[in-house]
A = this chain, B = another copy of it.
């Protein structure tokens, strides 16, 4: 055994090893153990994310990854009833740990988007819309990702306001709800912040993190999730996409939401 492999064997597999570079006192453990299960510190945001049948997976989980890093924050997945809630493709389920009846106050409400089926289902669900209105009455921030803005609009929160949404829903948002669509990653109108499609929730959540905890913290969270995006292509902006690419994108979405092979495992 060479000195090098010997060192490797010492490093490997020990439960005492820190696989991440040390963060100084904060990683010592005992400092934070004392605060576990204690009351949240004053100002610690309570973030609630509404799940409903057919949401798109990245819409709630991207922002949750960011907002859970805010000092003292809690992030709770909420649905009409507790339990597993399936995505648009039905491939994946996230657990709703609370029902809407159990949550009567949130600092931040986030409503994710979905395909046609999920979005229309939520837009026609009076219990969900009533709960959204009730949360909005006391929230510090009311937010949405993708077609989640259509659900906020159906709850009556966006009339006459400026907002964004999924690129393929922009016309509907404007014509059905009298909303001024802005083709931006996120749009703030008072305490309402809407994000564009799916992946835009991550950008919006960093902006929201800055509003809640300041720029230094938001910048540190961005580094914590190594968010220096560098996609292999540049095709994500609908403003630069031709009709054929848009058609293909919507076809892939539709096909992924109707053909289900999950049972073939």
Contact = CB atoms under 8 A, between A and B. Distances in A.
Contacts of A166: 20, 226
Contacts of A92: 61, 64, 68, 75, 77, 94-95
Interface size band for A = 35 or more
A64 B199 CA distance: 12
Interface in A28-50: 29, 32-33, 35-40, 44, 46, 48
B233 A228 contact: no
Interface in A227-265: 227-238, 241, 245-256, 258-265
Contacts of A127: none
8 smallest A-B Cβ distances: which pairs?
A: A197-B226, A23-B250, A228-B236, A229-B229, A32-B258, A11-B176, A58-B65, A26-B251
Interface of A: 4, 7-8, 11-13, 15, 17-24, 26-27, 29, 32-33, 35-40, 44, 46, 48, 56-58, 61-62, 64-65, 68-77, 84, 87, 89, 91-95, 97-98, 102-103, 115-116, 119-120, 123-124, 146-147, 150, 154, 166-169, 171-172, 175-178, 185, 196-200, 202-203, 206-207, 210, 215-238, 241, 245-256, 258-265
